[in-house]
Amino acid sequence: MSASAFPSIAPTIGVATSSSAAAISPQTSPLFRMNNPASIVQQPQARRYSPQHFYQNRILDPFVNQPVSPITLRQLVFFGRNMQEDKLIKSANYVRTELPIRLAHRIRDFQNLPFIVGTNPHIELVYDLYWQAFEKLSKVPEIKTLEDNDAFCELVKGLLNDHLVVIPQLALGIMECSKHIPPDQVDRFMNKMLRSRISRRVLAEQHLSLTSNFNSPNHMMTDRGYIGIIYTHCRPRDIIERTAILAAETCWQGSGGMEPPKVFLDGNIDAEFSYIPDHIEYILYELLKNSMRFVMKNGIPDARTGELPPIQITVCEGTHDIVFRISDKGGGIPPDMEAHLWSYAQSPARFANFEKISKMAATIQERMVSPSRSANLGIDDSQLSDRKDDNEGIVLPPPPATNKNSSYYGAESTTIRLDRHAPPRASKSTSSSASSSFSTASSQHHQRTVIDPSQSRTAARKPGHLDGTTHQYEDQSLHLGIGLPMSRVYAEYWGGDLKVFTMHGYGTDAYAKFCKFGNIYENFDV
């Protein structure tokens, strides 16, 4: 596919807005002024918005009336190959034009909320962030040079970082407003917001990554398989290894040291396809973490070995899809929980822990300093943001690694180091030497891989089921309650699906399906 196949750039639309670009404070926000008329009278010269800004303004109309130009993974892959200056400029102008349109639709959704919901401080904060981003992006002139593109990338990077507070603030706002809005409307609103958020971050992060790679001295090297944020050699074996060990580490920390169950992997584990690793890894991590947690809580240890029932992952490569089935014997999902599995509103109290989380990128990378781990290490949440750099939440592929035999996990560290960008291991001997301890049993008709999470740690284990004694599962982790709904949004975004079937009293099967060819357009509501 040539560069001309990339979605066409819509013409720039002039926006008549205030010349002030200062950040919005709570006292200058539109809803504050609507509810505090005295502030408008006392400071008319400082008024930035009128009530019409929220409900009757016409600034959004030209953008809301424009159609969104959706893309596919395949388009991103073909367009990103052999990047040249003219293609990079075209990508910048596409992102520059598309982001304000997508933001305008979400701002209009906020304006359609009941007034009492819109006055919630958490909802209002997100609305103001979206409006600020819309104003800044809609004013960017046409990008004509690489210098223009660099300045645009700095703006986009700053907005991405500012918007890391969106998910926690939305969750808290929904929790507090659950009595004032029907549950089905809450679910539609949240799914729209999260899908649109994914779409904007994909566009922004893909362009940032293309720019970063283009500006690097070795940007013409393509052997590492990354085109922007898309990896063209995703393999189920590697993805499950990373997510299973990280999920086991999370459960081990959250339980105070109880060993998680082993993971058995079979099927088409070496199939290759193109995908955004952040998306698929987030889904599988959430599914595996839930399975491990239920097995550790309800699983019956084997009478002979004392081991918990293992989790079975089967990978099937179909004509058009890659399907992951995750099966556990963790007692199944209770009926009252199953009824609200995908809802954001039916059990709003589950979002209460977002009060302890200031920022959330909804990627597996941030799990390296997870809430449960920080709690066990005695780290306050306010310290986490201090330990991150200015680019938190934006994970760009590094330059190609020079050591082709490097493994995914460093054996010298007791903490698992997630390095999905390391090159694939060259042989099974390399795999067996890594601290992740994959072992593969082969026969003429069957291949089965066993992940033993306990061998990836050198820390002392808490006595439990492995030494013949009993250890009651005590969940100390910090649950946010958004993992499964967010996982389904990720799965459906590129034309996939996520389904959960449970047998209460026995176990649960989860099916995650992904499009193999990347030829499905983005799935989000305009």
pLDDT digits (tens, 9 = 90+) for 166-207: 999 999 998 898 888 898 999 999 999 999 999 999 999 999
Give Cα 506 to chain centroid, integer Å: 30
List all residues 6 or more positions away from 132 whose beta carbon is below 8 Å from its beta carbon.
23, 24, 162
Please say if the pLDDT value at position 362 is more than 90. Answer: no
User: What's the DSSP call for residue 422?
Assistant: S
- The answer for residues whose C-beta is within 8 angstroms of residue 110's C-beta and 6 or more apart is 118, 123, 126, 127, 130
| 145-155 mean pLDDT | 97
Region of poorest pLDDT, from 30-34, 189-193, 363-367? 30-34
Burial pattern 51-68, b for ≥16 Cβ within 10 A else e, equals eebbeebebbeebeebeb
230-261 pLDDT per residue, tens: 999 999 999 999 999 999 999 998 888 889 99
Which DSSP string corresponds to 134-184?
HHHHHTPPPP-SHHHHHHHHHHHHHHHHHGGGHHHHHHHHHHHHGGGS-HH
DSSP per-residue string spanning 50-102: -HHHHHT-SSSHHHHTSPP----HHHHHHHHTT--HHHHHHHHHHHHHHHHHH
The mean pLDDT of 98-109, rounded to a whole number, is 95
pLDDT, residue 454, reads 65
Q: Which of 23, 162, 6 is nearest to 98 (CA)?
A: 6
The residue among 96 and 181 whose pLDDT is bigger is 96
**H or E element: which one contains 414?**
none
pLDDT band, very low/low/confident/very high, at 366 (cuts 50, 70, 90): confident
pLDDT band (50, 70, 90) for residue 266: very high
CATH architecture of 3-17+59-223: Up-down Bundle (1.20)
What's the pLDDT at 11? 42
Percentage of the chain beyond pLDDT 70 is 66
pLDDT at res. 336? 85
Please, what is the average pLDDT of the chain?
76
How many Å apart are CA 296 and CA 290, to the nearest integer? 10
User: pLDDT-based confidence at 476, cuts 50/70/90?
Assistant: low
The answer on pLDDT for 104 being more than 50 is: yes
The larger pLDDT score, comparing residue 449 to residue 335, is at: 335
Averaged pLDDT, 224-232: 91
Most confident option among 164-173, 446-455, 463-472: 164-173
**CB neighbours of residue 509 within 10 Å:** 17
- Total Cβ atoms within 10 A of residue 137: 24
Sorted by where each begins, the domain ranges of the chain are 3-17+59-223, 229-350+435-458+478-526
**Rg for the chain, CA atoms, rounded:** 24
Rounded to an integer, what distance in angstroms lies between the CA atom of residue 413 and that of residue 418?
Answer: 11
Token pair for 433: 């030497």
Q: How far is CA 374 from the centre of its chain?
A: 20
- What's the rounded Cα separation, in Å, for the pair 300 and 309? 7
Q: CB under 8 Å to 335, separation ≥6 — which residues?
A: 504
**Contacts of residue 453, Cβ cutoff 8 Å, sequence gap at least 6:** 244, 245, 248, 249, 252, 259, 260, 262, 263
The whole-number pLDDT of residue 327 equals 97
pTM for this structure?
0.76
pLDDT at 50 over 70: no
Q: What is the pLDDT of residues 387-413, one digit of tens each?
A: 333 333 333 343 333 333 332 222 232
- In 3D space, the residue among 344, 338, 95 whose CA is nearest the CA of residue 202 turns out to be 95
Answer whether residue 466 shows pLDDT above 50.
no
Please give the C-alpha separations between residue 400 and each of 153, 215, 223, in angstroms, as whole numbers.
22, 14, 8
pLDDT in tens, 273-294: 999 999 999 999 999 999 999 9
| Residue 314 scores a pLDDT above 90 | yes
- pLDDT higher than 90, residue 210: yes
The neighbouring-strand residues paired with 370 are: none
Q: What is 229-350+435-458+478-526's CATH number, 3.40.50.970, 3.40.50.880, 3.30.565.10, 3.40.50.300?
A: 3.30.565.10
- Angle among Cα 186, 191, 196 to the nearest 5 degrees reads 130
For residue 34, pLDDT over 70 is answered with no
In this structure, what token pair is assigned to residue 196?
């649109």
pLDDT band, residue 344 (cuts 50/70/90): confident
* Mean pLDDT, residues 354-368: 80
CB 171 within 8 A of CB 480: yes
| pLDDT reading at 373 higher than 70 | no
Structure-block tokens of residue 364 = 């597996």
Q: What is the mean pLDDT of residues 110-116?
A: 91
Q: What percent of the chain has pLDDT over 90?
A: 50
Q: Calculate mean pLDDT across residues 79-86.
A: 92
